[in-house]
């Protein structure tokens, strides 16, 4: 099949690829961001967005706007687009599209479980969940007391069930456990997604393995940095790294023993693709790392559009839109809190 996907791709995937490329053309450009950064009030942001594809979603909002409304409506647009594509998709694209949402599902599960642990109202938590990661019985998560129950009651019906095999314990849930569960789930999810993409073969496998490997490596670095100074043992830390990616396996060994950020930096600088990210940071700094990673990711996602006849564009589009919504949220927050000097701190230009 390798190399011949161009012949048959358009039978099932051509329409949706055209659609997604059309959607991509609607992403905000640097000029849009420049204008948005000059806004004085949230109304200005609304006015500017009404000239973009977000227009129809925002035009009926009454005037005292909130950041949450803007983000909610922008997310709604993404969800609408996603649902449209999912309706049109056939196998294996529909499975591929579903895979994209599993990450949000994991985040939502963790959000609800942590929330109930801290005695928060379920409805309130549900509103905070990402709409892409919703499933039927998500609210029932509040019932569970430990991992085993969580799995047996709720998650056994969801696509996340297979990822749980690693982390079924009878321990009661606490913050540390939940965080470990999130990372274990994520690890299993990424590995499964990676395997699925390899099975699809062709350009999809090629591009998606690059994107997913980046994702896995980024998670490995984040896990390492976040676990420095906690009681997580080296072996436990090692277990949370996904079993693929550029850092696998030797990089993982080195990361597992890191004790501070500069050691992480030393490990990462051995890998040419990540050298540029770390060279931008000064020693001992981890604040700007997120942004640097996001920038690198956006660059890679945009490159996915350079090739045709593969599913990577769908993944890339969803990720780019999410990044755009994050940007909008940051800009809106800065405008709303009169912190305009910090606007550029976290905005990642897409084009």
Partner 1 sequence: MAELQSGGGGGCCPPMDLFRSEPMQLVQIIIPIESAHLTVSYLGELGLLQFKDLNSEKSPFQRTYAAQIKKCAEMARKLRFFKEQMLKAGILSSVKSTTRADNNTDDLEVKLGDLEAELVEINANGDKLQRAHSELVEYKLVLQKAGEFFSSALTSAAAQQREMESQQTGEMTIETPLLTDKEMSADPSKQIKLGFIAGLVPREKSMSFERMLFRATRGNVFLRQAVVDEPVVDPVSGEKMEKNVFVVFYSGERAKNKILKICDAFGANRYPFNEEFDKQAQAISEVSGRLSELKTTIDAGLLHRGNLLQTIGDQFEQWNLLVKKEKSIYHTLNMLSLDVTKKCLVGEGWSPVFATKQIQDALERAAFDSNSQVGAIFQVLHTKESPPTYFRTNKFTSAFQEIVDAYGVAKYREANPGVFTIVTFPFLFAVMFGDWGHGICLLLGTLVLIVREKKLASQKLDDITDMTFGGRYVILMMALFSIYTGLIYNEFFSVPFEIFSHSAYACRDLSCSEATTVGLIKVRDTYPFGVDPVWHGSRSELPFLNSLKMKMSILLGVAQMNLGIILSYFNATFFRIGVNIWCQFIPQIIFLNSLFGYLSLLIILKWITGSQADLYHVMIYMFLSPTDELGDNQLFPGQKTAQLVLLLLAFVSVPWMLLPKPFILKMQHQGRHQGQSYEPLQSTDESLQPDTNHDSHGHEEFEFSEVFVHQMIHTIEFVLGAVSNTASYLRLWALSLAHSELSSVFYEKVLLLAWGYNNILILIVGIIVFIFATVGVLLVMETLSAFLHALRLHWVEFQNKFYEGDGYKFSPFSFALLDDEDE
The answer to whether residue 291 forms part of the interface with partner 1 (CB under 8 A) is no
Pattern 96-135, binding to partner 1, x per CB under 8 A?
Answer: --------------------------x-------------
Q: Judge whether 46 and 65 are in contact, CB under 8 Å.
A: yes
Find the binding residues for partner 1 in span 63-82 (CB under 8 A).
63
Least spacing, CB of residue 137 vs partner 1, in Å: 6
Report, in Å, the least distance between residue 140 CB and partner 1. Answer: 4
- CB-based burial of residue 139 (10 Å sphere; 0-12 exposed, 13-18 middle, 19+ buried)? middle
The answer to whether residue 50 forms part of the interface with partner 1 (CB under 8 A) is yes
Cβ-based nearer residue to partner 1, 51 or 257: 51
CA distance 350 to 313: 15
Tokens linked to 291: 């942004």
The minimum distance between CB 151 and partner 1, in angstroms, equals 11
What's the token pair of residue 302? 């945009």
Instruction: Find the shortest distance in angstroms from Cβ 264 to partner 1.
Output: 41
In the block, which residue shows the tokens 């709303």? 336
Binder of partner 1 out of 35, 52, 177, 308 (CB under 8 A): 35
Least spacing, CB of residue 35 vs partner 1, in Å: 4
Sign of CA dihedral 267, 273, 274, 275: positive
| C-beta separation of 302 from 320 below 8 A | yes
H-only helix segments in the chain: 5-12, 14-25, 30-37, 42-49, 55-58, 67-88, 93-117, 122-128, 147-149, 175-200, 202-227, 234-240, 250-256, 261-268, 272-279, 289-304, 312-336, 343-346
User: Closest by alpha carbon to 217, among 189, 243, 184?
Assistant: 243
**How many angstroms separate the first and last alpha carbons of the chain?**
34
**Residue with smaller CB distance to partner 1, 122 or 246:** 122
Site membership for partner 1, residue 326 (CB under 8 A): no
Tokens of 131: 């709409």
The answer to whether 44 contacts partner 1 (rule: CB under 8 A) is yes
Least separation in angstroms between residue 192's CB and partner 1 is 24
Nearer of residues 142 and 246 to partner 1, judged by Cβ = 142
- Residue span binding partner 1 (CB under 8 A) among the ranges 61-69, 231-239, 271-279, 280-288: 61-69
Q: By CB under 8 A, tell whether 140 contacts partner 1.
A: yes
* Pair 79, 132: CB distance under 8 Å: yes
**Binding status of residue 161 toward partner 1 by CB under 8 A:** no
Residue 116 CB, shortest distance to partner 1, in Å, is: 9
CA–CA separation, 198 vs 160, rounded Å? Answer: 20
**Which is nearer to partner 1, 154 or 180 (by Cβ)?**
154
Would you say 331 and 347 are in contact if contact means Cβ atoms under 8 Å apart? yes
- Least separation in angstroms between residue 118's CB and partner 1 is 16
- The answer to whether 152 contacts partner 1 (rule: CB under 8 A) is yes
Nearer to partner 1, 148 or 326 (CB): 148
Name the DSSP letter for residue 144. Answer: -
Kindly indicate which of the ranges 44-52, 65-73, 160-168, 332-340 contains the residues binding partner 1, using the contact rule CB under 8 A: 44-52
Say whether residue 169 binds partner 1 (CB under 8 A): no
């Amino acid at each position: 099949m390798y190399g011949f996907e161009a012949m048959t791709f358009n039978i099932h995937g051509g329409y949706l690829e055209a659609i997604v490329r059309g959607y991509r053309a609607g992403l905000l450009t640097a000029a849009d961001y420049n204008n948005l950064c000059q806004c004085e009030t949230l109304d200005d942001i609304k006015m500017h967005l009404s000239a973009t594809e977000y227009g129809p979603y925002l035009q009926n909002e009454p005037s005292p706007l909130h950041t949450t409304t803007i983000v909610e409506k922008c997310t709604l647009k993404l969800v609408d687009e996603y649902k449209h594509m999912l309706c049109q998709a056939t196998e294996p694209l529909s499975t591929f599209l579903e895979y994209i949402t599993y990450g949000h599902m994991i985040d939502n599960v963790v959000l609800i479980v942590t929330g109930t642990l801290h005695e928060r109202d379920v409805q309130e938590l549900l509103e905070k969940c990402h709409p892409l990661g919703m499933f039927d019985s998500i609210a029932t998560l509040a019932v569970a007391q430990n991992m085993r129950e969580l799995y047996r009651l709720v998650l056994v019906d969801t696509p996340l069930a297979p990822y749980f095999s690693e982390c079924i314990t009878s321990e009661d849930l606490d913050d540390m456990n939940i965080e470990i569960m999130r990372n274990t789930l994520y690890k299993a999810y990424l590995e499964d997604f990676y395997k699925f993409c390899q099975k699809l073969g062709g350009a999809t496998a090629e591009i998606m393995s690059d994107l997913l490997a980046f994702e896995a490596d980024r998670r490995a670095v984040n896990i390492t940095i976040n676990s420095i100074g906690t009681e997580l043992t080296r072996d436990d830390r090692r277990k949370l790294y996904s079993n693929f990616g550029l850092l696998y396996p030797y990089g993982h060994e080195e990361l597992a023993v890191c004790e501070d950020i500069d050691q992480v930096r030393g490990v990462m600088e051995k890998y040419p693709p990540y050298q540029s990210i770390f060279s931008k940071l000064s020693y001992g700094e981890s604040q700007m790392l997120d942004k640097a990673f996001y920038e690198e990711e956006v660059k890679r996602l945009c490159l996915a559009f350079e090739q045709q006849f593969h599913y990577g564009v769908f993944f890339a589009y969803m990720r780019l839109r999410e990044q755009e919504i994050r940007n909008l949220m940051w800009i809106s927050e800065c405008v709303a809190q009169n912190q305009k000097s910090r606007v550029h701190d976290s905005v990642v230009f897409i084009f």
